[in-house]
Amino acid sequence: MGITSSSKQINTDRIDCDGTLKVTLALSASPDIISNPTDIVLVLDRSGSMTGDPLDNMKAGARAFVDIIAEATGGISSGEIGAGSRIAIVSFSNTATVNSSLSTSVSELKDAIDAISAGGSTNHAAAFNAASDLLDGSQNAKVIVMFTDGKTTVGPDPSNAAASARANGIIIYCIGLIGSDGLDISALNDWATDPDASHVAITPEDSDLEELFKDLAKNISKTGATNIVINEKINPDFVITEIFDPTAGEAVMTGPTELKWTIPELGVSGNEGATLEFLITHTAGTNGLKQVNQEITYSDTEGNVVVFPDPYVEIVCEIVVNPEKCPEPIELSLDSCSSYSEENAGKICMESTGSIISLNVTIKNVCPYKRSALGIILSEMVDGIEVPRGMKALTIPAHYYPECRDVLVKGIKFVLPDNANRSTCKCIKRELQVRFISHLVDSGYECC
């Protein structure tokens, strides 16, 4: 049966600007139909829109499907499906009919297919329920092949019936013909087992149906997968920071944003899964909804088609306010052959001599559309006495994110004078204290 499912998941849908995310890649595979006896229900649309060539081509495809499964199980010469596998036929329009219960007889199955006639509306839910009932209690691997040429026109929403079947371990394939009444391709993708690329086939031409049924039968009957190679390249806004040992095969980093996962074989002797987990860290410093991977490719010897989901994560970067600009530089030049230069640097107003301290502070949970006031009081302990060194009051502009956010205020600068009590030129450790006071400027209150 080859690769039966694949997934790519992230452990959260939102991280901070420099946050880390865990990514999980997973595959599962099943062996060939001889090693893994399988019960298959062909579910065939016989609504009125199938009249004529569409019905004839669907029947040809269904008969070819039965022959390929019989041949793959070694039973074609005896007219029987071998190795413990079985096929059933269900057809549907307004209601669903079991044309043949699970059987190994090729002739019985083909007679059931040939007896189908078209007419009526389209009840997909009834079809899924009838097929699921046939597979209930089966100890074999379980597969439903749903063929349809139109949208649901009667009966309940079939999504619940399909989801229930998948939850009971049934693999669902869908073949869709874009008929005269149109086809809801998204519904087929919803019903089918993931990934859609290997479990859903669509055609606008009924003449293609026989080949689609043949291809699907070959896929179901082949072995698991060997010589698997998965190349993952993540969005360049992230870097890979750690790769954990996979449950099968080996994974190595091939670049800051790339890894390679190789698995010698999977699902060759029995149903088997493989998982790889790795960590990525956001480094771009920009907000927004971002795609996790830039590209991911899959290959194996058997030619399985595997498409991984494409998760997105919301990046939330803190708001940064720089209330004080750096002084404008005075540009000087020194001739390349000169070792001495004398320049007039202009005039500057000195506040005091001493040290410069630059402070950063984060104001927590600032609500949108409101300015904030921030007061900073700096003092120094000199001989056990607290001495004032400066005070600043700043207005922090409002932000316009839809929710309360932390605001980082950077580069609040104080110039500290020399300690007047210092008696030597020796550098002395200075003990400083800083106090912050913050509140909203825009409270919404108005005096009547």
Per-residue model confidence as pLDDT tens digits over 234-282: 999 999 999 999 999 999 999 999 999 999 988 876 667 899 999 999 9
**What are the pLDDT digits (tens) for 169-197?**
899 999 999 877 788 899 999 999 877 76
The chain-wide mean pLDDT, for the chain, equals: 87
Angstrom distance (rounded) from CA 90 to CA 42? 6
Q: Phi, psi at residue 75, to the nearest 5°?
A: -110, 5
Angstrom distance (rounded) from CA 287 to CA 314? 8
Please give the C-alpha separations between residue 257 and each of 47, 70, 74, 236, 278, in angstroms, as whole numbers. 51, 47, 47, 6, 11
**What are the pLDDT digits (tens) for 282-341?**
998 888 899 999 999 999 988 888 888 889 999 988 766 777 676 777 777 777 676 677
- State both tokens at 197: 């690329």
Strand partners, 221: none
Query: Is 34's pLDDT higher than 90?
Result: no
Name all domains of the chain by residue range, CATH numbers in brackets. 2-32+224-316 (2.60.40.680), 38-221 (3.40.50.410), 320-325+352-420+427-440 (2.60.40)
Angstrom distance (rounded) from CA 120 to CA 55? 13
pLDDT for position 419: 60
- Global pTM reads 0.55
Listed in sequence order, the residues at least 6 apart from 62 whose beta carbon sits closer than 8 Å to its beta carbon are 42, 44, 89, 113, 147, 213
**What are the pLDDT digits (tens) for 158-169?**
999 999 999 998
